[in-house]
Amino acid sequence: MFTTLKEDIQAILERDPAARSRFEIITTYPGLHAVWLHRLAHLFWSTRFRPLQWFARLLAMLARWLTGIEIHPGARLGRGVFIDHGMGVVIGETTEIGDHCTIYQGVTLGGTSLVKGSKRHPTLEPRVVVGAGAKVLGPFTVGEGARIGSNAVVVKAVPAGATVIGIPARVVDEQYADSMARQVAGDRFAAYGVMPGQQDPVDVVLHQLVDELKRLQEELDQIKRAQR
């Protein structure tokens, strides 16, 4: 248990350049407070004893009041999960978050089903980054090392190592999908789920179409001049 708590602190030191000391992190980081309160609430929830489950929900509500982060006590969080800033984050009951994932403010890990007892929320494999305002909705898996760009709406599975952006979310660069080698230790961390230079694939295609239309118009003008 104490090893897990130490990993939570170390994750913040490694991924937040504004973090200056462990004391500062422990006393002033609401994302850490939310995770620690959730770990306690999850222990009570896992007993399946109704009075203790009620107390777990009470702890979750207290954490929401204190931090602005809502995590259902049934959700499963791995080691080193970092909720940065965190205000407005909502994590549903059957969500599973792997080790060393990073979640930014305004993120929703939500469900699209009303069937009680079923898997309704997403599973994030280790080292996933979810950018600010992103919505991940449904009982699918986001693969290891995947990056979800800010404000993306993800409604289907994301391949390991892929980067997705847009509404609905689309893979930016297919080369990430089958290249787990990029996810080894030392790989560059992508804050807010995006890397410099990445573009929306639809935007790229539209610009290509505009360039092609310009080229065709120039050829047509040349043909008209030649016929005069």
Predicted local confidence at residue 152, as pLDDT: 93
**Dist. CA 198–CA 100, nearest whole Å:** 23
**Dist. CA 69–CA 149, nearest whole Å:** 20
Predicted local confidence at residue 180, as pLDDT: 45
Predicted local confidence at residue 98, as pLDDT: 95
- Fill in the amino acid letter for 172: V
Predicted local confidence at residue 209, as pLDDT: 82
**Dist. CA 64–CA 202, nearest whole Å:** 38
pTM for this entry? 0.76
**Dist. CA 162–CA 127, nearest whole Å:** 12
Predicted local confidence at residue 204, as pLDDT: 63
Which burial class, exposed, middle or buried, applies to 126 when counting CB atoms under 10 A from its CB (0-12, 13-18, 19+)? middle
Cα diameter, the chain: 90
Q: Where are the domains of the chain?
A: 2-197, 198-228
**Dist. CA 86–CA 32, nearest whole Å:** 9
Per-residue pLDDT of the chain (228 residues; tens, 9 = 90+): 678 888 999 999 999 989 999 999 999 999 999 999 999 999 999 998 999 999 999 999 999 999 999 999 999 999 999 999 989 999 999 999 999 999 999 999 999 888 888 899 999 999 999 999 999 999 999 999 999 999 999 999 999 999 999 888 898 865 544 444 444 444 555 666 555 555 555 566 677 788 888 888 888 888 888 887
Give the CATH fold of the 2-197 domain. UDP N-Acetylglucosamine Acyltransferase; domain 1 (2.160.10)
